[in-house]
């Protein structure tokens, strides 16, 4: 498949045109005039030669077993053309014609028809439709209607959006960015980002894979493949656009917080894909990865000729979790030996505005030798006497180790040549210090991914029969919400410690329950119609005497009767009171692309306000559970502040793994919340005091 698309021996253009400006002309032009060395067959029933190339009248007359065909005929003729191509054993097809799913109506039908043709043709793979085409700078293949050919380079780029692809191509020419492959995916009826990842992973010319994606087709498959590919080479993606995830019913806390993007963020992270949010970040990181070796640690040195940019750089570094290396005294001494007296020889090293270009090189050589330095950002601000191209020349001649170096040339007009020189020597260069730091941070993330042990999900074996019976009972009654007691039993079946609770229908039963559980107790309204109990005064904590329990029963049931007269109230739940726990939330929702999505955060009634939560696609490994816990902003509260004892983080991780396993075993569970899970001090465990489970719609619902 790789050879047929990118190193074809022959290419046919179906719908080749002799009229400049038509797609069928541009594609042919790119194939015959841009250095591609293989055979080209224009196909057109009404012409003899186009662009000095003899025309073939019908697809049936093309050589059997054709490598590649580019289809540029009207949308309604495409399915038939592909059928005929399949009949002669064509291996690879790129459909550049538009007028499919993207126009709706009849276009959608045509796309389905095309999909079926591909499905019926096992030997044929298809890119598109509605794409620009593919380019390969090694074989000088330009099977597209783009107006230019990219520069050769080490980046393999794919784009779901054609317009974005064209803009990037144009921009890359002015910015010294080179590509090994340039692939426009279009509507993805057959080949998706997953095959492209596999192709580029195996391509020796591609060092970094980058892409612009609007959605992945099959989230689980994407994760499986990406996890392997990122072991071999870095993958950097911009993912834009909202998914249908945003529209899903969100009745639980987790559903409300998961939003459209959380699953992509989590999934990319879990398979080592570096996610960036702007095209600038994409190329900033990709050029660094393509030309520099990975940093082996977070120690950053800054070399500058002006204070302000150095400080901005240092601040940005801190924001990314990098730290400024403390230079060794010998290093500072050596710098002092040749820098101006007013220079700063501590990190950031400021060689001052009057310093000549040569001092950049000498300083960089010395700084890079410091064992605490893992990477250097070199910032230059042009002055009356200092030219960017001179600094660039000195830097490219520096004899330095393979620690990464990033250059920042402040300004625009006067530094153009300097930047150009840096880029041509594989020295990544940035407009602003924070761009350089962002690229370094991305490299460090990738370095950590590459060196960490592959993670295997941990699955605990719960009491499956018990959970299955509870779900079946609810299904029989046509219910999608489990009762709080049922939900608690499901969690308990997977080893989650739950607060002991007893139902009570009268105040006498409530008092008896409290006696059995031991005072003080908590009382909660027990009604399938009420899901947020404290909103309606349905939770009373700290009931310390039998009298208080009896009184609470009357108060609570009459209050509920008042505020929600229609709600069917079974009675109350009397629950053991858990003291000294920190409130957290553990939740589960289903993402349409990636499946079970696990959430963790500080819980209680403020969770929707603070939105301090982290996500992973389940099933997870225990280290991933630990990372989820450490990943929230207010993690310090769990570790303990001001002499507080730390929370039982091991118990917490255990609960996350348990819910992950439950979600894995029961696809019927659409959403689940433990809010709160009260996490006790270290060694004392964690207890679920409120539980919710909602099932997926039953078949036919």
Whichever of 381 and 675 has its CB closer to Mg ion, that residue is 675
Q: Does 689 bind ligand ADP (CB under 6 A)?
A: yes
Look at residue 303 and give its three-state secondary structure.
strand
Q: Which stretch binds Mg ion (CB under 5 A): 136-144, 447-455, 572-580, 689-697?
A: 689-697
Shortest distance (Å) from residue 535 CB to Mg ion: 10
Whichever of 335 and 573 has its CB closer to ligand ADP, that residue is 573
Shortest distance (Å) from residue 624 CB to ligand ADP: 26
Q: Does 577 bind ligand ADP (CB under 6 A)?
A: yes
**Out of 400, 469, 541, 637, the residue judged to bind ligand ADP by CB under 6 A:** 541
**Out of 186, 421, 675, 695, the residue judged to bind Mg ion by CB under 5 A:** 675
Whichever of 101 and 533 has its CB closer to ligand ADP, that residue is 533
**Out of 532, 562, 611, 630, the residue judged to bind ligand ADP by CB under 6 A:** 532
State the first-to-last Cα distance of the chain, in angstroms, to the nearest integer: 42
Q: Does 526 bind ligand ADP (CB under 6 A)?
A: no
Q: Which stretch binds Mg ion (CB under 5 A): 46-54, 293-301, 465-473, 673-681?
A: 673-681
The tokens of 621 are what? 């490994």
| In contact, 622 and 271? CB cutoff 8 Å | no
**Around Cβ 74, how many Cβ atoms within 10 Å?**
12
Whichever of 289 and 578 has its CB closer to ligand ADP, that residue is 578
434 binds, among ligand ADP, Mg ion, none (CB under 5 to 8 A by kind): none
Q: Does 575 bind ligand ADP (CB under 6 A)?
A: yes
689 binds, among Mg ion, ligand ADP, none (CB under 5 to 8 A by kind): ligand ADP
Look at residue 374 and give its three-state secondary structure.
coil
Q: Does 355 bind ligand ADP (CB under 6 A)?
A: no
**CA angle, 93 as apex, 91 and 96 as ends, to 5°?**
175
Partners of residue 614 on adjacent β-strands: 600
DSSP secondary structure string for all residues of 453-521: PPP--------HHHHHHHHHHHHHTT-SBPPHHHHHHHHHHTT--B--EEEESSHHHHHHHHHHH-SSE
Q: Rounded to an integer, what distance in angstroms lies between the CA atom of residue 55 and that of residue 272?
A: 48
Query: Which residues between 102 and 131 bind ligand ADP (CB under 6 A)?
Result: none
Residues 6+ apart with CB under 8 A from 23: 15, 17, 72, 96, 97, 145
Whichever of 445 and 673 has its CB closer to ligand ADP, that residue is 673
**Out of 339, 351, 499, 669, the residue judged to bind ligand ADP by CB under 6 A:** 499
400 binds, among ligand ADP, Mg ion, none (CB under 5 to 8 A by kind): none
| In contact, 268 and 239? CB cutoff 8 Å | yes
Q: Which stretch binds ligand ADP (CB under 6 A): 87-95, 318-326, 388-396, 570-578?
A: 570-578
Query: Which residues between 237 and 276 bind ligand ADP (CB under 6 A)?
Result: none
Whichever of 155 and 539 has its CB closer to ligand ADP, that residue is 539
Q: Rounded to an integer, what distance in angstroms lies between the CA atom of residue 556 and that of residue 560?
A: 6
Look at residue 598 and give its three-state secondary structure.
strand
Determine if residue 10 is left, alpha or beta; phi over 0 gives left, psi from -120 to 50 gives alpha, anything else beta. beta
| In contact, 406 and 440? CB cutoff 8 Å | yes
Mask of contacts with Mg ion, 632-671, x by CB under 5 A? ----------------------------------------
Whichever of 82 and 539 has its CB closer to ligand ADP, that residue is 539
**Out of 534, 564, 684, 696, the residue judged to bind ligand ADP by CB under 6 A:** 534
Starting from the edge strand earliest in sequence, which strands make up the sheet with 501-504, in order?
A: 501-504, 571-576, 521-526, 539-543
Q: Does 481 bind ligand ADP (CB under 6 A)?
A: no
Q: Rounded to an integer, what distance in angstroms lies between the CA atom of residue 650 and that of residue 618?
A: 18
| In contact, 117 and 11? CB cutoff 8 Å | no
| In contact, 114 and 90? CB cutoff 8 Å | no
| In contact, 522 and 579? CB cutoff 8 Å | no
Q: Does 539 bind ligand ADP (CB under 6 A)?
A: yes
Shortest distance (Å) from residue 500 CB to ligand ADP: 9
Mask of contacts with ligand ADP, 605-624, x by CB under 6 A? --------------------
Can you give the binding site for ligand ADP, defined by CB under 6 A?
499, 522, 524, 532-534, 539, 541, 575, 577-578, 583, 604, 675-676, 689-690
Can you give the binding site for Mg ion, defined by CB under 5 A?
675, 690
């Amino acid at each position: 498949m790789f050879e047929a698309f990118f190193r074809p021996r022959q290419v046919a253009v179906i719908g080749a045109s002799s009229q400049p400006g038509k797609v069928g002309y541009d594609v042919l032009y790119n194939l015959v005039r841009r250095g591609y060395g293989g055979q080209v067959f224009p196909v057109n029933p009404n012409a003899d030669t186009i662009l000095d190339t003899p025309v073939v009248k019908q697809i049936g007359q093309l050589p059997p077993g054709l490598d590649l065909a580019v289809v540029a005929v009207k949308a309604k003729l495409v399915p038939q053309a592909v059928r005929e191509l399949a009949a002669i054993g064509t291996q690879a097809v790129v459909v550049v014609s538009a007028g499919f799913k993207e126009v709706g109506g009849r276009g959608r039908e045509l796309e389905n028809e095309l999909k079926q043709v591909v499905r019926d043709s096992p030997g044929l793979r298809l890119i598109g439709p509605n794409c620009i085409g593919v380019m390969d700078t090694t074989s000088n293949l330009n099977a597209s209607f783009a107006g230019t050919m990219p520069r050769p380079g080490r980046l393999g780029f794919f784009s779901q959006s054609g317009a974005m692809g064209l803009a990037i191509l144009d921009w890359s020419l002015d910015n010294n960015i080179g590509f090994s492959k340039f692939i426009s995916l279009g509507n993805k009826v057959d080949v998706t980002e997953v095959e492209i990842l596999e192709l580029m992973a195996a391509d020796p010319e591609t060092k970094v894979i980058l892409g612009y994606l609007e959605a992945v087709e099959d989230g689980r498959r994407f994760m499986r493949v990406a996890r392997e590919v990122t072991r071999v080479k870095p993958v950097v993606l911009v993912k834009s656009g909202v998914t249908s995830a945003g529209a899903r019913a969100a009745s639980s806390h987790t559903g409300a917080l998961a939003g459209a993007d959380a699953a992509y963020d989590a999934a990319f992270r879990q398979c080592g894909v570096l996610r960036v949010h702007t095209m600038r970040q994409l190329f900033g990181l990709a050029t660094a990865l393509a030309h520099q070796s990975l940093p082996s640690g977070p120690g950053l040195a800054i070399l500058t000729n002006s204070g302000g940019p150095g400080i901005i750089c240092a601040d940005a570094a801190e924001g990314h979790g990098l730290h400024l290396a403390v230079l060794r005294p010998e290093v500072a001494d050596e710098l002092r030996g040749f820098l101006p007296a007013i220079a700063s020889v501590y990190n950031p090293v400021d060689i001052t505005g009057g310093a000549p270009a040569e001092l950049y090189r000498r300083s960089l050589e010395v700084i890079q030798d410091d064992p605490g330095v893992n990477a250097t950002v070199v910032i230059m601000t042009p002055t009356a006497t200092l030219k960017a191209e001179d600094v660039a020349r000195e830097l490219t001649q520096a004899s330095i180790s393979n620690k990464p170096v990033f250059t920042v040339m402040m300004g625009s007009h006067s530094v153009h040549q300097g930047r150009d020189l840096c880029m041509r020597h594989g020295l990544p260069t940035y407009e602003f210090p924070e761009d350089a730091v962002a690229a370094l941070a991305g490299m460090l993330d990738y370095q950590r991914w590459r060196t960490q042990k592959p993670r295997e999900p941990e699955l605990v074996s719960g009491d499956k029969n018990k959970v299955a019976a509870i779900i079946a009972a609810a299904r029989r009654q046509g219910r999608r919400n489990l009762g709080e007691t049922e939900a608690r039993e499901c969690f308990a079946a997977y080893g989650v410690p739950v607060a002991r609770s007893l139902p009570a229908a009268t105040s006498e039963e409530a008092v008896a329950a409290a006696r059995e559980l031991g005072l003080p107790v908590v009382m909660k309204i027990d009604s399938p119609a009420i899901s947020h109990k404290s909103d309606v005064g349905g939770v009373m904590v700290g009931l310390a005497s039998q009298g208080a329990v009896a009184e609470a029963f009357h108060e609570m049931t009459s209050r509920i009767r008042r505020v929600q007269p229609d709600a069917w109230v079974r009675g109350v739940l009397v629950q053991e009171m858990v003291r000294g726990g920190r409130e957290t939330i553990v939740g589960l929702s289903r993402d349409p692309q990636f499946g079970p999505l696990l959430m963790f955060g500080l819980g209680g009634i403020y969770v929707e306000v603070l939105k301090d939560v982290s996500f992973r696609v389940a099933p997870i490994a225990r280290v991933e559970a630990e990372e989820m816990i450490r990943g929230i902003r207010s993690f310090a509260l769990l570790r303990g502040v001001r002499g507080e004892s730390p929370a039982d983080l091991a118990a917490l991780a255990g609960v996350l793994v348990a819910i992950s396993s439950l979600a894995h075993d029961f696809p019927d569970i659409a959403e689940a919340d433990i809010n709160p899970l009260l996490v006790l001090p270290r060694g004392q465990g964690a207890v679920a005091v409120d539980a919710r489970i909602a099932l997926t719609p039953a078949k036919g619902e």
